Amino acid sequence: MGVSWSLGSWLPVLRRLPGEARGQVALTIDDAPNPDTTPALLDLLDRHGAKATFFLSGCRAEPNRAIVADMVARGHAVYAHGWEHVRLDKAGPDRLRADMAACEALLTEFRPTPSPYLVRLPQNGGYRNSLVHRTLAAWMPGCQFAHWGLSTEDHLISTRCASESDVERECAAEVARLEADPRLEGAVVLMHDQPINERPGAAFKPAVTITLMRLLLQALDRRGLVSVPMVPAPGAAWWTRYALV
């Protein structure tokens, strides 16, 4: 992937939990909430003593405020993922700032704004764009990019499904891959609550979302790992403001 340079404007880009993170992972869930899946996800997480980090789309959170309240009450971290699910890096700095601010304004109804703030943009657009970094730094000083180290690739699973048994098999295959990965301990793991995209297989998105969480939490138990909320990095080397690897 190489190195991207800036004149000192890169925010920290996090892909793992800081420190050794023994026995821990951070499950991060984009595009929530949804009334037909999120309550089931919250119950599964509770059953395993797991805490997740949700990056919420304002357009989905607005009609589902009670679910947002439930997420916070159960100890999960919630951050903004924009309002509509559009490429905010391509929409211009004003739209980027307005969408993030509108979503965060909704979330402050349920918890104080975290500091430092963790940012994840739709489709992770612009994480190597220095204008996006400068715009976010001006909006929320000290914020950090919540990238990930491992992806469940769940945005593609439903495209391979034509039946419920396909869902179980395809989710199990992705979970087996992750369970065998030596980088799983300490990893920030990307997953979705019904990914917002135009790909085929939309009818199976709810089943994929719930099945994948069920199987992944079982795999974490087998590996002796528990999901904890993603936390900001305590500090970054000075050169990371100039060089993004």
What are the residues binding Zn ion (CB under 5 A)?
30-31, 122
Nearer to Zn ion, 188 or 225 (CB): 188
Decide whether 31 or 174 has the Cβ nearer to Zn ion: 31
User: At 16, is the secondary structure helix, strand, or coil?
Assistant: strand
The least CB distance from residue 55 to Zn ion, in Å, is: 7
Rounded least distance, CB 79 to Zn ion, Å? 12
Cα–Cα nearest to 34, from 80, 67, 5, 76: 67
Task: Burial-class residue 87 by CB neighbours within 10 Å (0-12, 13-18, 19+).
Answer: middle
Residue placing its CB nearer to Zn ion in the complex, 30 or 89: 30
Q: Name the E strands within the chain.
A: 4-5, 13-14, 24-32, 53-56, 77-80, 118-119, 144-146, 150-151, 188-192, 226-227, 243-244
Question: What is the nearest approach in angstroms of Zn ion to the Cβ of residue 209?
Answer: 13
Residue closer to Zn ion by CB (options 30, 170) is: 30
Chain centre distance of CA 112: 19
Task: State the minimum distance, in angstroms, from the CB of residue 185 to Zn ion.
Answer: 25
Q: In the bound complex, what is the minimum distance in angstroms from residue 1's beta carbon to Zn ion? A: 21
Cis peptide before 33, with omega less than 30 degrees from 0?
Answer: yes
> Partners of 226 in the beta sheet?
24
Question: 31 vs 89, which CB is nearer to Zn ion?
Answer: 31
